[in-house]
Amino acid sequence: MNTKTTVEIKEIKARKKLSDLFFENLTLVFALMIIGLVVFIIYEMFMDSKLSREIFGFGFIFSQDWNPVKDKFGALTFVYGTLISSIIALAISLPVSIGVAVYLSELAANVFKTAISFLIEILAAIPSIVYGFWGIFVLAPFMRTTVQPFLQSTLGFLPIFQGNAVGFGLLTAGIILAIMVTPIITAITRDVLKAIPTSQREAAYALGATKWEAIKMALLNAKGGILGATVLGLGRAVGETMAVTMVIGNKAQIKASLFEPSYSMASVIANEFAEASGGLHISSLIEVGLILFAVTFIINSFARLLIYSFTRKTEAK
Amino acid sequence: MEDYYLKVSKGHTDRRKLKSRLMIILCYVAAAMAILPLLYIFFYTTMQGASSLNIDFFTELPKPVGESGGGMANAILGTLILVALGSVIGIPVGIFAGIYITEYSKSIFANVIKFVTDVLSGIPSIIIGIFAYGLIVIPMKSFSAYAGGFALGVLMIPTITRITEEMLKLVPHSLREAALALGIPRWKTTLRIVLRTAQSGIITGVLLAIARAAGETAPLLFTSFGNSFWSTSLDSPMASIPVQIFNYAISPYDEWHSKAWAGAFVLISLVFIVSLIVRLATRNKFSQTA
Amino acid sequence: METAEEITKEAAVIETVSEEKVKYTVETEGLTVSFKGREAINDINIKIRANTVTSIIGPSGCGKSTFLRSLNFMHDLTPGAKVKGTIKIHNKNIDEYDMTEVRRRVGMVFQKPNPFPTMNIYDNVVAGIIMNKGKKRNELNEIVEQSLELAGLWEEVKDRLKVSAMALSGGQQQRLCIARTLAVNPEIILFDEPTSALDPISTSKIEETLFHLKNKYTIVIVTHNMQQAARVSDYTAYFFLGKLIEYARTRTIFTSPREKLTEDYVTGRFG
């Protein structure tokens, strides 16, 4: 029989060995280094851009100036270039990625599934420089000789398709970015579709839905996750450097036409940093970097929030 | 779940079936569209690169314009050195941080560190280059392998941390319990039992991180900068394959272009081989724990 | 011929007389374990005698495993777990011992066999020893043979000690885990439903092992199989909804339990 205890009960705490505490703190130190790194990066970007921030103030973001000789700098051109090329990339990549994701999760036979997802993985791993190189010698000429003339002849009334078609410009940059960003959006969309239980699809079929209608329903269910994947892809596109640098034309200007050469935030840093003339030039470049960092930070945090809340929703179901 | 309104008349149903077939075909087209550029890039790079690839590429130094021959020996060595330097930073920090996040996940720090690691992985590599520039190039007053290696190391950290975390999570909890129940101290359990079980997965992850670091260009542009000559000194500028490819690619000389293609071919071969290894290794891992 | 009641009364008398001379290896007082505020077991008072087999029975979720795992600090691994009360091993409070020392002296065999997958049979058996303190090769060989013999596995594996542990069948793996636990020379061995994942033949082999182990060790076994409890144990404790309802000699529990709750359970009226 179990007798009742009348004395006060206190908690039993195990005594940790010294060696265990040492190990735990050792790993903690390394883990804290990561926090230290990120904090330090932010701090350094801030400090090293001080000169240009003080001189140009907030107007830096809205100024189209970029003149190393006259020491006048502004980030608007680059923000524009980054933004437009990334939007083009997403516009092309999103439908394709969803299509591939649907193919991989719903349609493909096992053999093709492994082969094609392996190929997509490789697509994600190809270095940016190789994309850029291929862009210069294959894509840009192709754009100049085939695609851009075609677009001009058919949709030339639109301002975005007017102007000189040299092959290097926003549109080409957007296309290369689209290729680079597709694997990410595909991978996450595929995971997100897998997370939706088959019972939901079965319910749709039982109601007489066609295959596409069932898929569409799954996609609608997954739209939070797909949005998150897209935003993540946007983050990647915004930060992409080499491939864009090699095909965007590297001319600091804002023009309506997508065929015109332009400049992105990452590209101007890549091109001008090593041989920057003088403190203000470098400081301005670093301020552009600070803006780039802020933009990617916001985008990535938003993406993670979306994916996190979507995962929570599906787990709760 | 959204309400789904179904149209029931036959004409409608036929149209729905047609639409379904059409959309499905579009998905197949999308898959082809995604694969086509990849295949083209691979094919083209191999064609251009393999033909320019010879022993000279691996053994000779770059020759000035006009002279034929030459290779990327210094760049190959440079990449090896830079990646090695990066690994010295990236691997210990990554693995230990990954251990901390997984094994001591109760602590308040663990979630913060996970979040910050994600932030780090999202920072564009060129920003990391700026960071390394300010941290190392400015005080040293020169471009150096140290700066480039450091930048690569920082880039490697999030990848390795994440893969360590995932692989450690795959080790079944019952193994930890079994070891602890034998009286094996926590730290020995983590190192000798848990880490060892996750070993192969972590190694493949590290290989992946190394392969990615080898192909990085942006952070090296103003840290290790580049060097046309043979150099093993860590405190001076150092050549690397990606930067060399970049310099050659934007030059107007055909000779240099073909060298660049050879370099690009080497890089994508590396990527392909490592991806293959990772795929094969992780396939076994999953069947083991299933 | 004595009736069951008379035998039980006699046994109770004998027990109270030799109370002072009895050696208890494990005692708990007011043991309460809660997970994130929710209580799993409450106010457990039990005294387990040396060199006996005690089985813990009760319906699913009654706290049997929770009780067992508090005896070797296993809850330290669970976030949000709070262990309150007093646990004494050999008359000394458990938190006066070094935690890993407690775990070595109180061994545990788990429900699902969990040999270390990267090691072979030999290395698995000596895993606990090698990591705790170094020993010479020939000493190890002896220990391996003795442990595997005691676990009833030696004959089957003596010619293939270098084979991977994962090549063994489920029942063999479990006996390997027992051997591994024996190798570190514990005094108390806790078994958490050790045969529920095994086939009947492996089960009976392990029950046989338990019988032999009793001479050297004190054994506490959690089981949801009442027949097993009746077969192998000297004492039985019945848990229900996180409380210890009754603890007595196995025969008593199964033939003439004092509490109605116990009777309902052992006669199959519920659970």
- DSSP-assigned states of every residue in chain C: ---HHHHHHHHHHHHHHTTTT--EEEEEEEEEEEETTEEEEEEEEEEEETT-EEEEE-STTSSHHHHHHHTTTGGGGSTTEEEEEEEEETTEEGGGS-HHHHHHHEEEE-SS----TTSBHHHHHHHHHHHHS---HHHHHHHHHHHHHHTT-HHHHTT-TTSBGGGS-HHHHHHHHHHHHHHT--SEEEEESTTTTS-HHHHHHHHHHHHHHTTTSEEEEE-S-HHHHHHH-SEEEEEETTEEEEEEEHHHHHHS-SSHHHHHHHTTS--
Question: Considering only A79-88, C10-19, C24-33, C238-247, which range has the smallest mean pLDDT?
Answer: C10-19
Q: Domain containing B42: what range?
A: 10-52
Q: Is residue A60 part of a domain?
A: no
Cβ contact, residue pair C132, B288, below 8 Å: no
User: Rounded to whole angstroms, what are the CA distances from A92 to A86, A201, B138?
Assistant: 10, 28, 41
* Mean pLDDT along residues C16-29: 72
The DSSP code sequence of chain A is --PPP-SPP-B--PPPPHHHHHHHHHHHHHHHHHHHHHHHHHHHHHHHTHHHHHHHGGGGGG---EETTTTEE-SHHHHHHHHHHHHHHHHHHHHHHHHHHHIIIII--HHHHHHHHHHHHHHHHS-HHHHHHHIIIIIHHHIIIIIHHHHHHHHTTSGGG-S---S-SHHHHHHHHHHHHHHHHHHHHHHHHHHS-HHHHHHHHHTT--HHHHHHHHHHHTHHHHHHHHHHHHHHHHH--HHHHHHSB------S-TTS-B--HHHHHHHHSTT--SHHHHHHHHHHHHHHHHHHHHHHHHHHHHHHHHHHHHHH-
Residues A195 and A309 in one domain: yes
Q: Write down the pTM of the prediction.
A: 0.85
**Chains A, C: CB pairs < 8 Å:** 55
Residues B104 and B21 in one domain: no
| Fold category of C4-266 in CATH | Rossmann fold (3.40.50)
Chain C interface, best mutation among B184, B190, B195, by max C CB count within 10 A: B184
Joined together, the tokens standing for residue A269 give: 């840093």
Q: What is the DSSP letter of B62?
A: P
Cα radius of gyration rounded to whole Å, chain B: 25
B108 part of contact set with chain C, CB < 8 Å: no
Residue C94 has pLDDT above 90, yes or no: no
Q: Please give the span between the terminal C-alpha atoms of chain B, in angstroms, as a whole number.
A: 32
Q: Enumerate residues 6+ apart whose C-beta is below 8 A from A248.
A: A81, A85, A168, A169, A170, A172, A173, A261, A262, A263, A264, A267
- CA of A123, closest CA in chain B: separation in Å? 6
Contact A208, A129 (CB under 8 A): no
Name the β-bridge partners of C44.
C31
Residues B48 and B63 in one domain: no
* Mean pLDDT along residues C116-138: 84
Which range scores top for mean pLDDT: A292-296, B19-23, C128-132? A292-296
Q: What is the pLDDT of residue B80?
A: 94
Q: Indicate the residue type of B208.
A: L
**pLDDT tens-digit readout, A131-143:** 999 999 999 999 9
Joined together, the tokens standing for residue C13 give: 């008398």
| CA-based nearest residue in chain C for residue B175 | C114
Residues of chain C contacting A16 with CB distance shorter than 8 Å: 99
Residue A64 has pLDDT above 50, yes or no: yes
Residue A11: which of C29, C46, C84 has the nearest Cβ?
Answer: C84
- Cβ-based neighbour number of residue C262 at 10 Å: 25
Residue A213: which of B20, B129, B218 has the nearest Cβ?
Answer: B20
Helix axes A211-221, A198-206, angle to 10 degrees: 140
Q: What is the DSSP letter of B136?
A: I
Residues B43 and B70 in one domain: no
Residues A185 and A255 in one domain: yes
Cβ contact, residue pair B29, A99, below 8 Å: yes
User: Rounded to whole angstroms, what are the CA distances from A119 to A125, A262, B27, B42, C85?
Assistant: 10, 31, 17, 11, 59
The chains in contact with chain B, meaning 3 or more Cβ pairs closer than 8 Å, are A, C
Place of tokens 């780090």: B120
Residue A200 has pLDDT above 50, yes or no: yes
Q: Is residue B4 part of a domain?
A: no
Q: Enumerate residues 6+ apart whose C-beta is below 8 A from A264.
A: A78, A81, A82, A85, A173, A244, A245, A248
Residues B135 and B224 in one domain: yes
Contact C135, C127 (CB under 8 A): no
Q: Which of C10, C45, C3, C53 is nearest to C28 (CA)?
A: C45
What is the torsional sign of CA B236, B239, B240, B244?
positive
Q: What is the pLDDT of residue B288?
A: 40
A17 part of contact set with chain C, CB < 8 Å: yes
Complex confidence, ipTM: 0.88
Chain B interface, best mutation among A37, A215, A297, by max B CB count within 10 A: A37
Contact A309, A98 (CB under 8 A): no
Of the CA atoms within 13 Å of residue A305, those in its CB half-sphere come to: 6
Residues B171 and B267 in one domain: yes
Residues B46 and B67 in one domain: no
Beta strand A72-73 pairing with A66-67: antiparallel
The chains in contact with chain A, meaning 3 or more Cβ pairs closer than 8 Å, are B, C
Q: What is the DSSP letter of B83?
A: H
Cβ contact, residue pair B288, C117, below 8 Å: yes
Place of tokens 């190189």: A133
Q: What is the pLDDT of residue B5?
A: 54
Q: Is residue A72 part of a domain?
A: no
Residues of chain B contacting A266 with CB distance shorter than 8 Å: 124, 126, 218
- How far is C240 from C62, CA to CA, in rounded Å? 5
- How far is B165 from B176, CA to CA, in rounded Å? 15
Contact A306, A222 (CB under 8 A): no
Q: What angle do CA C187, C192, C194 make, to 5 degrees?
A: 100
Average pLDDT per consecutive 10 residues, chain B (290 residues; last block may be shorter): 54 81 89 88 90 82 78 90 96 95 84 90 94 93 94 96 93 92 90 91 92 94 89 90 92 88 92 89 54
Beta strand C24-35 pairing with C81-89: antiparallel
Q: What is the pLDDT of residue B1?
A: 46
Greatest C-alpha distance within chain A:
95
Residues of chain B contacting A238 with CB distance shorter than 8 Å: 124
- How far is A214 from C208, CA to CA, in rounded Å? 57
Q: What is the pLDDT of residue A218?
A: 85
Q: Is residue A311 part of a domain?
A: yes
Residues B182 and B280 in one domain: yes
Beta strand C92-93 pairing with C81-89: antiparallel
Residues A23 and A172 in one domain: no
Residues B63 and B196 in one domain: yes
Domain tally, chain B = 2
Residues B201 and B67 in one domain: yes
Chain A interface, best mutation among C98, C103, C260, by max A CB count within 10 A: C98
Residues B47 and B124 in one domain: no
| CA-based nearest residue in chain A for residue B104 | A24
Torsion of the alpha carbons at C59, C60, C66 and C67, rounded to the nearest 10: 10
What is the torsional sign of CA A231, A232, A233, A237?
positive
Place of tokens 């066609």: A210
Cβ contact, residue pair C85, A5, below 8 Å: yes
C window 177-206, beta carbon within 8 A of B: 177, 180-181, 184
Greatest C-alpha distance within chain B:
79
- How far is C171 from C177, CA to CA, in rounded Å? 10
Phi, psi of A262 (to 5 degrees): -145, -165
Q: Is residue B3 part of a domain?
A: no
Contact B205, B167 (CB under 8 A): yes
- How far is A227 from C136, CA to CA, in rounded Å? 61
Joined together, the tokens standing for residue C237 give: 């404790």
Residues B155 and B243 in one domain: yes
Share of residues in chain C with pLDDT > 90 (%) = 48
Residues of chain A contacting B257 with CB distance shorter than 8 Å: 137
Q: Which of C62, C50, C69 is nearest to C191 (CA)?
A: C69
| CA-based nearest residue in chain B for residue A313 | B1
Q: Indicate the residue type of A272.
A: E
pLDDT range class, residue C250, cuts 50, 70, 90: very high
Residues A98 and A223 in one domain: yes
Place of tokens 């580049």: B226
Residues A133 and A217 in one domain: yes
Residue C74: which of B177, B183, B193 has the nearest Cβ?
Answer: B177
- How far is B215 from C77, CA to CA, in rounded Å? 42
Residue C13, Cβ density class (10 Å: 0-12 exposed, 13-18 middle, ≥19 buried) = exposed
CATH code at position A209: 1.10.3720.10
Cβ contact, residue pair C30, A7, below 8 Å: yes
Q: Please give the span between the terminal C-alpha atoms of chain A, in angstroms, as a whole number.
A: 44
The count of residues in chain A is 317
- How far is B220 from B222, CA to CA, in rounded Å? 6
Q: What is the pLDDT of residue B152?
A: 97
The chains in contact with chain C, meaning 3 or more Cβ pairs closer than 8 Å, are A, B
- CA of A7, closest CA in chain C: separation in Å? 8
Residues A91 and A153 in one domain: yes
Joined together, the tokens standing for residue C53 give: 């087999």
Cβ contact, residue pair A16, C30, below 8 Å: no
Q: Is residue A55 part of a domain?
A: no
Domain tally, chain A = 2
> Please, what is the average pLDDT of chain A?
87
Question: Considering only A49-53, A202-206, C60-64, C259-263, which range has the smallest mean pLDDT?
Answer: A202-206
C32 part of contact set with chain B, CB < 8 Å: no
Q: Could you tell me the residue ranges of all domains in chain C?
A: 4-266
Q: Is residue B190 part of a domain?
A: yes
Q: Enumerate residues 6+ apart whose C-beta is below 8 A from A209.
A: A217, B4, B6
Q: What is the pLDDT of residue C73?
A: 86
User: Rounded to whole angstroms, what are the CA distances from B17 to A200, A217, A229, B13, B237?
Assistant: 20, 15, 30, 6, 64
Q: What is the pLDDT of residue B2?
A: 47
For residue B72, the SS3 value is coil
Residues B25 and B92 in one domain: no
Q: Domain containing A30: what range?
A: 18-48
Q: Is residue A239 part of a domain?
A: yes
Of the CA atoms within 13 Å of residue B170, those in its CB half-sphere come to: 21
Q: What is the DSSP letter of B106?
A: T
